[in-house]
Structure 1
Amino acid sequence: MAVLAVLVGLAVLAAFAGLHWYVWRRLVRDTTAGPGFARRAGTVLFVAAPLLMFAALVAERAGAPFLLQRVLAWPGFLWLALALYLLLAVLVGELARPLVRRWAERTPSEDPVSEAPAPAEPASVEAAPSDPAPSDPAPSRRLFVSRVVGGAAAAAAVGTVGYGTYGVLRGPQVKRVTVPLAKLPRGAHGFRIAVVSDIHLGPILGRGFTQRVVDTINATQPDLIAVVGDLVDGSVEDLGPAAAPLAGLRARHGAYFVTGNHEYFSGAEQWVDHVRELGLRPLRNARAELPWFDLAGVDDVAGEDEGKGPDFARALGDRDRSRASVLLAHQPVVIHDAVEHGVDLQLSGHTHGGQLWPGNLVADLANPTLAGLERYGDTQLYVTRGAGAWGPPVRVGAPSDITVVELASRQA
């Protein structure tokens, strides 16, 4: 088994290196006339950036000193996103290359000497063997085509990553969804739950980002706040100051928290204690009976490795099923357990909506719902795209959000 894992790892590394070589060839080697400064600088970039990327990933997982994580995170994780879109842009460029080549071939030369008609020579005079052959414009044309296609590919990739980074750093936008619940009493019609997930505080997103999230939530004036996991990527010691603004969350019926899978990489028990100190109420396979409906929460499935995964029987087993129920669960995959236990609405995150297109295609296969509201039998599932980002602070095709879920009573 260990040998197989090593072989798979080597194959992945070989594929990764091969793709980087291909992109380097198209964007660096094919666009430079010779081994000058530009080619050397491009080569250094394509060697150093992947090494920084691996170093950033290893530093985060290994719990390296937080300052080192911060130094490596920006260049390393940004390269992860940039390399993806450079590859996609270069592949699209391969389709455009023949068109650019034809356009270049049809463009008349701007050299006045070559355009001027050659003087007629007597038919009896033969060209001397020492006369130079006409110059071949093909090499310069190939360089021109490579520069046009490569430049466009690089600009598209950098622009995509730049805009995706801006979308994350400016903070999540508010999304509003109305969810009718058959068992909800008339008195709870219009009850608003602010749902936030996947904030991912860490080496990149820190205290300032948390404050933007808190300000955005409070501005919606919710009745209740649900933080549905993946709050952090790091220890309480490193990220406690970054999480401090959460103490400013305000809602009439309080703020609740359930663990996500990343909490179990970061010291879940310590974080549960810390968010409690900040004024949030953890729901660990537990239930709060509000006047109009039951609010339950389960631990993330990642906790099963520590013997602390979701326990639906404990959270929901003895409740009055004539009452409406809302379940907080980080991962959408537990929806079938929610259906079995008669949950009316499950609120989840985890997917990031795919975060980086075309990652949404993979995430859609791994989750019952990628984002938005869907129905499973008598249970509705809402999945938010999340407020932050994991790894690259970049989102493409999956904008971050904080969702205000407004419950609607069918008796109203």
Structure 2
Amino acid sequence: MFLVVAAAVVVLMHLYLWKRLVSDTTRTARWRRVGTVAVIALAVLVAATLTLPRRLGPEVAQWFAWPGYLWFGVLFYLVVVLLVLELPRFALRRTVATDEGRRLFLARSAAVVAGVAATGITASGVVSALGTPELRRVSVPIRRLDPAFAGFRIAVVSDIHLGPLLGRSHTERLVRMINEADVDLVAMVGDLADGTVAELGRAAEPLRDLVSREGTFFVTGNHEYYSGHQQWITELDRLGLHYLRNTRDTITRGSARLDVAGVTDVTGRSFDDAPDLAAALSGRDGADPVVLLAHQPVQVDSAAAAGVDLQLSGHTHGGQLYPFHHVVALAQPGVSGLSQVDDTWLYVTNGAGFWGPPVRVGAPPDISILELGVRR
């Protein structure tokens, strides 16, 4: 279903582009044919980029994934800018309706403006997406937190998305940044890879070098299920990471306790691996605070009802491509940063990688360092 919807959207975007950049701007049949062939070729490239990497593997896919996803980024912003320019086009429709020369001039001017703007925005977004992730530091006051845990620091990393465009060097950089932050615990909240362990296991290997006082805990994201979640669970366990499959662990500081729980992603329902918050929290002392790892922010409603103090999530990429974050906000209660649902804090990281176009606009990649404090 996803591929069908994605294909339909890609086709509609290219049809709109053909209308505004080819049909409206050309006078001769020859140039219209050239433009039409170019638009069709680019549409086929995007379709191949969206569908073939899982079949061909990352090493082969990278040869067409780079140009395909880069074009997809330019395509997105061409459509956005052209849609914005529909407003002045609509306002001037009567004054240019009978003047073919002015109509052609306006169409070509709009095409040039859209092309320059889309290329510039995309280029800036590529620099952001491929650059060093931000290290975001956030203080979170936790009710019931024993003073012994004041200053407890959690590194939150999500949506690494190893695949055709991001490999081992990406993982090494993240590990180095987390280790330099000197944290108490590392929380990986899903979407590590877009491919199998056989294809991307070497790229994930640096995760074995993560250092923190209490270890690294992880939960599944939706992309784990697309890539074969059980093989990745086994591999991460081999690398020394602790999997929280609807379970919890307890961190102690003397007599003080802090529960760390984790649930599987909601996508697991289709793979006989559904999230079970009740199981994750069963048997715990309700007087102790609890931090929950859950890939999607939408899981916070259940967390708030269960009295969770802090939920750590990813999935949204912070919207990744402005203004797409408005669409994300329709499906998720939090898109980026710290928010609150009843008495439960929700923290959503932008993620350390990207999905699809290697472009981030208005949502830079990040690793978040959350410092827990005593809520007065």
Q: What displacement does 1:89 show?
A: 1.4
**One-letter amino acid of the counterpart of residue 49, structure 1:** L
Query: Which amino acid is 1:245 matched to?
Result: P
The higher radius of gyration belongs to 1
Using the TM superposition, give the Cα deviation of residue 193 of structure 1 relative to its aligned residue in structure 2, in angstroms.
0.3
Query: Residue 24 of structure 1 aligns with which residue?
Result: 18
2:175 to 204, 209, 214: 214
Instruction: Give distance in 2, aligned partners of 1:326 and 1:14.
Output: 40
Corresponding residue SS for 1:309: coil
How far apart, in 2, do the equivalents of 1:149 and 1:100 lie? 13
Take 1:259 and 1:17, find their aligned partners in 2: how far apart are those partners? Answer: 32
Determine the structure 2 residue equivalent to 1:192: 153
Q: Is the 8 A contact 1:326 1:346 kept in 2?
A: yes
Distance 2:150 2:9 in 1: 55
Q: 2:71 aligns with which of 71, 79, 82?
A: 79
Deviation, structure 1 residue 100: 9.7
Instruction: Using structure 2 for the length normalisation, give the TM-score.
Output: 0.90
Tell me what 2:305 maps to: 340
Distance in 2 (CA, whole Å) between partners of 1:17 and 1:41 is 18
Change (3 A) 1:45 1:221: farther
Q: Report the aligned-residue RMSD.
A: 2.7
Identity %: 49
Q: Where do 5+ consecutive residues of structure 1 fail to align?
A: 105-137
2:162 maps to a residue whose letter is L
Q: Deviations over 1:314-358 (max 9, x none)?
A: 211110111111111111122122223321111111111221222
1:40-119 residue pairs with structure 2 within 5 A? Answer: 41-60=34-53, 62-96=54-88
User: Does the residue aligned with 1:284 lie in a helix, a strand or coil?
Assistant: coil
Secondary structure (helix, strand or coil) at the match of 1:204 reads coil
1:357 to 311, 322, 334: 322
1:312 aligns with 2:272: no
SS in 1 for 2:73: helix
The counterpart of 1:267, out of the listed 206, 209, 228, is 228
Find the counterpart in structure 1 of residue 340 from structure 2: 375
CA distance in 2, matches of 1:327, 1:297: 5
Per-residue deviation, 1:20: 2.0
Map residues 166-245 of structure 1 onto 2, 5 A cutoff: 166-245=127-206
Change (3 A) 1:196 1:88: same
* Whole-Å separation in 2 of the counterparts to 1:18 and 1:272: 38
Distance (Å, rounded) in 2 between the aligned partners of 1:164 and 1:406: 29
Structure 2 CA distance for aligned equivalents of residues 303 and 55 of structure 1: 27
Q: CA deviation at 1:28?
A: 3.3
How big is the shift at 1:229? Answer: 0.4
Q: Residues 18 and 369 of structure 1: is their aligned pair in 2 closer, same or farther, counting only changes over 3 Å?
A: closer
- Partners of 1:370 and 1:270 lie apart in 2 by 29
CA distance in 2, matches of 1:407, 1:265: 34
1:59 and 1:68 in contact (8 A); partners too:
no
Secondary structure of residue in 1 paired with 2:187: strand
TM-superposed deviation, 1:74: 1.4
Closer, same or farther in 2 for the Cα pair 1:94/1:339, shift >3 Å? closer
Measured after TM superposition, the shift of residue 244 of structure 1 is 1.6
Give the partner amino acid of 2:150.
H
1:139, distance to aligned residue in structure 2 (A): 5.7
**Quick check: 1:328 aligned with 2:293?**
yes
Using the TM superposition, name which of 262-271 and 339-348 deviates more. 339-348
Tell me, in whole angstroms, the C-alpha distance in 2 between the residues paired with 1:258 and 1:12: 27
Using the TM superposition, name which of 199-208 and 91-100 deviates more: 91-100
Deviations 1:148-195 (A, max 9, x none): 321111010111111111111013211111111121111111111010
Aligned to 2:367, what secondary structure does the other structure show? strand
User: Is this contact kept in 2: 1:356–1:394, CA < 8 A?
Assistant: yes
Q: What SS does the corresponding residue of 1:177 show, helix, strand or coil?
A: strand
Q: Do residues 251 (structure 1) and 212 (structure 2) align?
A: yes
C-alpha separation in 2, matches of 1:206 and 1:165 = 16
Contact kept, 8 Å, 1:49 with 1:75, in 2: the verdict is no
Q: Deviations over 1:72-107 (max 9, x none)?
A: 2112222222212111212223334589999x9xxx
Residues 210, 23 of structure 1: alpha-carbon distance in 2 compared, 3 angstrom cutoff: same
- Does 2:370 align with 1:405? yes
Query: Hey, what's the Cα distance between the residues in 2 that align with 1:140 and 1:312?
Result: 65
Residue pair 1:161, 1:394 contacting (<8 A) in 2 also = yes
TM-score by length of 1: 0.82
Compute the displacement of 1:390 (Å).
1.0
Distance 1:301 1:13, change over 3 A: closer
Give the AA of the match of 1:203. P
Residue segments in structure 2 that go unaligned for 5+ positions in a row: none
Corresponding residue of 1:121: none
Equivalent-residue separation in structure 1 for 2:226 and 2:132 (angstroms): 24
Alignment-mate amino acid for residue 277 of structure 1:
R
Rounded to whole Å, the distance in 2 between the matches of 1:373 and 1:257 is 20
Partner of 1:110: none
Partner of 2:349: 384
> Deviation at 1:367?
1.0
The answer as to whether partners of 1:50 and 1:76 remain within 8 angstroms in 2 is no
Structure 1 counterpart of 2:125, from 152, 164, 171: 164
